[in-house]
Structures are given as C-alpha cells and as structure tokens.
C-alpha cells in the first residue's frame, strides 16, 4: 500500500511540473498602422490627400448696397480618387460663383442665392429665369457697360409671381445686376418700354 501511495505522489508531481512548464507559443506582434493613414474596409487613404473646399472672396468683389453679400467664388472638391459610388460628380476644374438674386413674394422684394458659371448680364438674367423670378423666354437683347454704369435691353419684363407689380420686378432686375456687377446705375429697356436710369433700391423690400 505504501508503494502505491509513493507512485501516486510521484505521478502527481510530474503532472504538476508539466502544468507549470512555460509555453513556447509566443503572440505575434500586431502591425502598427503608419501615422497619417486611415484604414477602412481594406483600403487606405493618406490624410495629406484629404480633399478641401476653398471659399475665396475676390479683393475686388462688390459688397453691394447697404451691406449686401456681394460675390463669393467657390472651388469644387476633387474627389476623383474616391470609389465611383462615393464621388459627387464635381471636378476641381469646375468653379461657380455664388450670386445674390432679388425676387418678389407676398411680403415684397427679398433676396435669394444662386450659382452661376460666369458673371455677366446674360448669366444673371438666365439665373433669374431658372429660379422662377422672370418669365420663361426672358433674354438680354443688348447690354453695354462703361465703368460703374450700364444699360440693358430685355425682350420682355414679366414676373413669374402674378402678384408682383411692374415696379417690384423692375427693382429685382436692377438690384440683381447692380449688386453683383458693382454698378451704380442701370438704364433699363424691356420690350417697347423705356424705364430710364435706375439704381439699387430697398423701397420694395419685405416688411
């Protein structure tokens, strides 16, 4: 019986030593993500290439009358290196100018914003048509500018908003062109009517 107990004790000692033997399995070191790189779904993108949007107000941009917003140029984001389903469709070469248009609602003449590809009378009038201020088919038939004065001839002067008066829609055209083109006065003709020389006015502003 004594021998059995001795063998049993020896066997338990062996098992205990085996349990305490250090494992020779070592954990692999994790690979550190390089600084400045973001990993997402198996793709990497350098933070230094992060797209940016530049908002630049030209030094010679008009500020408008009574603190008008003037003109602001924006540079589009170049996201061509994004996956196709993440692209916005803009190109870094695409540049647009934010302009302030004037329109009429039931409170009077108010401001609205739009974007145009270039700053000229034809584009501004086209933007007023697009935004539902001037009636479809309204076009510039003649325009001339000398310094801060200009004259414009339209084929018609009709508002989309039926309650707008002739004086209000005329003010919208004059305010839009003088505000964005830095004019002090604008001589306006539309159809067979001569409205004479006009300047920016807040007479019909919303109340």
Task: Give mean pLDDT, residues 74-82.
Answer: 55
Task: Calculate what percentage of the chain has a pLDDT beyond 70.
Answer: 55
* pLDDT for the residue numbered 147: 95
Query: What sign results for the dihedral spanned by CA atoms 134, 140, 141, 147?
Result: positive
Residue 123 has a pLDDT of 97
169 burial via Cβ count (<10 Å: 0-12, 13-18, 19+): buried
Neighbours of 171 (CB within 10 A): 23
The pLDDT value recorded for residue 202 is 95
Confidence category of residue 206, pLDDT binned at 50, 70, 90: confident
Token duo for residue 130:
């697009």
- d(Cα 133, Cα 178) in Å, to the nearest integer? 17
Question: Residue 54: pLDDT band by 50, 70, 90 thresholds?
Answer: low
- Strand partners for 196: 188
Please name the residue that has the structure tokens 């230094």.
48
How sure is the predictor about 131, in pLDDT bands with cuts at 50, 70 and 90?
very high
pLDDT grade for 93, boundaries at 50, 70 and 90: very low
CA dist 190 and 178 (Å) reads: 17
pLDDT, tens digit (0-9, with 9 covering 90-100), for 136-160: 999 999 999 999 999 999 999 999 9
Residue-wise pLDDT tens digits, 5-44: 555 555 565 555 455 455 554 545 555 555 655 555 555 5
N- to C-terminal Cα separation, the chain = 112
> Taking 80 as the threshold, does the pLDDT of residue 56 lie above it?
no
- According to the model, what pLDDT value does residue 197 have? 98
Determine the length of the chain. 207
pLDDT at 104: 96
In 3D space, the residue among 149, 150, 161, 139 whose CA is nearest the CA of residue 206 turns out to be: 161
Looking at residue 122, its pLDDT comes to 97
Q: Taking 50 as the threshold, does the pLDDT of residue 67 lie above it? A: no
């Amino acid at each position: 019986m004594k021998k059995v107990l001795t063998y049993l004790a020896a066997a338990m000692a062996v098992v205990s030593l085996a349990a305490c033997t250090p494992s020779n399995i070592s954990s692999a070191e994790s690979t550190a993500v390089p600084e400045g790189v973001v990993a997402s779904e198996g793709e990497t993108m350098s933070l230094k290439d992060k797209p940016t949007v530049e908002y630049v107000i030209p030094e010679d941009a008009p500020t408008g009358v009574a603190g008008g917003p003037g003109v602001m140029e924006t540079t589009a984001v170049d996201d061509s290196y994004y996956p196709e389903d993440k692209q916005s469709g803009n190109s870094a070469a695409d540049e647009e100018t934010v302009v302030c248009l004037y329109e009429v609602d039931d409170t009077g003449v108010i401001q609205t914003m739009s974007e145009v590809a270039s700053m000229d009378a034809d584009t501004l009038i086209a933007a007023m048509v697009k935004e539902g201020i001037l009636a479809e088919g309204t076009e510039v038939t003649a325009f001339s500018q000398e310094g801060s004065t200009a004259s414009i001839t339209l084929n018609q002067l009709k508002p989309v908003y039926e309650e707008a008066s002739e004086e209000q829609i005329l003010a919208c055209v004059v305010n839009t062109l003088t505000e964005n083109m830095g004019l002090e006065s604008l001589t306006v003709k539309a159809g067979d009517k001569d409205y004479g020389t006009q300047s920016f006015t807040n007479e019909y502003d919303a109340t």
